[in-house]
A = this chain, B = another copy of it.
Amino acid sequence: MPQALHVHLLPTSLDPETLRGGTAVIIDILRASSTMITSLRNGATRVIPCATPEEATLIRQRAAPGTVVLGGERGGVKIAGFDFGNSPAEYSSAAIGGRTLAFTTTNGTKALLTALTAREILIGAFLNRQAVIECLNREDSGTHLICAGTDGIITGEDVLFAGSVVDGLLTSADHSACDQWTLNDGAHIARGYWRQCTSDPAADRSARIEKALLSARIDEAMRHSRGGLNLLSLGYQSDITLCSQLDTTDVIPRYHGEDGSLLSA
């Protein structure tokens, strides 16, 4: 039976009921998704997404000293009193290893909260793209790729990543034919955008060169997106490059509803 493969270009245009029983992938490329993935890869024991800075602060107060660090942003900038902002570069093994991250960002957290009806909630970004594709290929339920956007406005980088996953699923060996998936219009649009941004008439390249070239294309596209322009204006240009790197980890943050935290899948 064909499975739903739906891209929601904004969480606001999404009916939570359609997610029931399915798998949701939360996408906030610049930078919440990328930062959460980096934290877990670098040894954080878990990430607790918090709706407000106060909630994060409370979690630290209730924990044993030194076990919880606070991270996140408002307006792209580190929150006063927090240990770290929203730049993946800050979350080194030394900074985050063996600790819990209480994390709050405006759009990524909100997108996650709209998806609580889903059976599974994963966090995706270019950094773990291939792992996400392989994971979704093993699922037998509907797949919903949810672009966080910024303050209710569609952002190109989230749609670009969603398109890359759609393209990966449709071209992977596990699913041989497109008709195993039922794409919504958002999925067609996102895939077209991804393919256009990364198309190249030349061929015959090694896999390593191909990956580097794709990362460069993603980097370039993101420098023209709303989120990318905002980061450039704040002086975070290196974060764009960092968040453009493809397949640097197999870690997929997976949400556990019982204690409200993200653990490495």
Contacts and interface: CB of A to CB of B under 8 A. Distances in A.
Interface in A221-265: 221, 224-226
A193 B188 contact: yes
A186 B153 CA distance: 9
A10 interface: yes
A177 interface: no
Q: Determine how many copies of this chain the complex contains.
A: 2
A89 interface: no
Contact of A199 (B10, B186, B193, B199): B199
B156 A226 contact: no
A144 to B, nearest CB: 14
Contacts of A152: 13
A79 interface: no
Interface string A100-141: 000000000000000000000000000000000000000000
Given A9-B9, A13-B152, A224-B183, A192 B188 contact: no
A55 interface: no
Nearest to A225: B185
Contacts of A191: 196
Contacts of A154: 9, 13, 185-186, 189
Shortest beta-carbon contacts, A-B, top 8: A192-B193, A192-B196, A156-B185, A196-B196, A189-B193, A195-B196, A185-B226, A156-B188
17 contacts: A10-B13, A12-B13, A13-B153, A13-B154, A153-B185, A154-B186, A156-B185, A156-B188, A159-B189, A188-B224, A191-B196, A192-B192, A192-B193, A192-B196, A192-B197, A193-B193, A195-B196
